[in-house]
Amino acid sequence: MQLYGTEISSRLLLGTAQYPSPAILTQAIEASGCEIVTVSLRRETADGSGAGFWDVLRATGKHILPNTAGCHSVAEAVTTAHMAREIFGTRWIKLEIIGHADNLAPDVFALVEAARVLSEDGFQVFPYTTDDLVVGEKLLTAGCEVLMPWGAPIGSGQGLRTPDALRAMRAHFPETLLIVDAGIGRPSDAVQAMELGMDAVLLNTAVAKAGDPVGMARAMSLALDAGRAGRRADPMEPRDMAVPSTPVLGLAELG
């Protein structure tokens, strides 16, 4: 998988918030096999008060994908992205602009504008978006090479609420990297995302808030591998009626 020219083997991107301790976070990252971890600028501040957390992430040796979590406007997101580039030393930015306080849905109008501004300024943007095809097209036109549609509201663990829409995105953007971001709650959700043809999954709460975060991180990694292998094996289509697995013709007639 190529993300803005960087080759990545793991299909799992892991968030770093809400873990019981830095030690468990580190163990979960290693158990997941992920190569990319996301972090909010609010965990790292310009005055250095978040230096301890940054040291923990740097010690993992993983790629850092800073995000603009908590931003509600274009100006706020762009400013946060510039600060993140200075602190983390990367052009990658996961762009989040929240438009609704209750379900944390992205403000797609502001998202497209901020993506354009940041792309023109040399950022490599990972936009947290909806599963709307028109919005996806506008984000690609704005300079994004990756789309990150939500599966369900952030932290909800509801799984993929609109699998048909994600299936349509895969068909409409066959050459674009699609990463499901938000809503994954169980390994079965991750399997479903990969079977739909998604390229990767980004999750946080499902692992951080599990009874055993390290075990769940490992389970999610296995789920992604299983889902992708199933997709590549070209699974059978559902049928309306039963079809006998044993041929009827040629059976002996006993009487």
Task: List the binding residues for 1-deoxy-D-xylulose 5-phosphate.
Answer: 155, 182-183, 204-205
Q: How do the residues of the chain divide into helix, strand and coil, expressed in percent and rounded to 5?
A: 40, 15, 40
Please say whether the beta carbons of 16 and 68 come within 8 A: no
Burial class (CB in 10 A: 0-12, 13-18, 19+), 211: exposed
Query: In 163-238, which residue ranges form alpha helices assigned H by DSSP?
Result: 163-172, 187-195, 205-208, 213-232
94 noted as active-site residue: yes
Please say whether the beta carbons of 24 and 50 come within 8 A: no
Binding residues: 155, 182-183, 204-205
Residue in 62, 94, 138, 209 annotated catalytic: 94
- Please give the backbone phi and psi of residue 202, each rounded to the nearest 5 degrees, phi first: -110, 125
- Active-site residues, by number, are 94
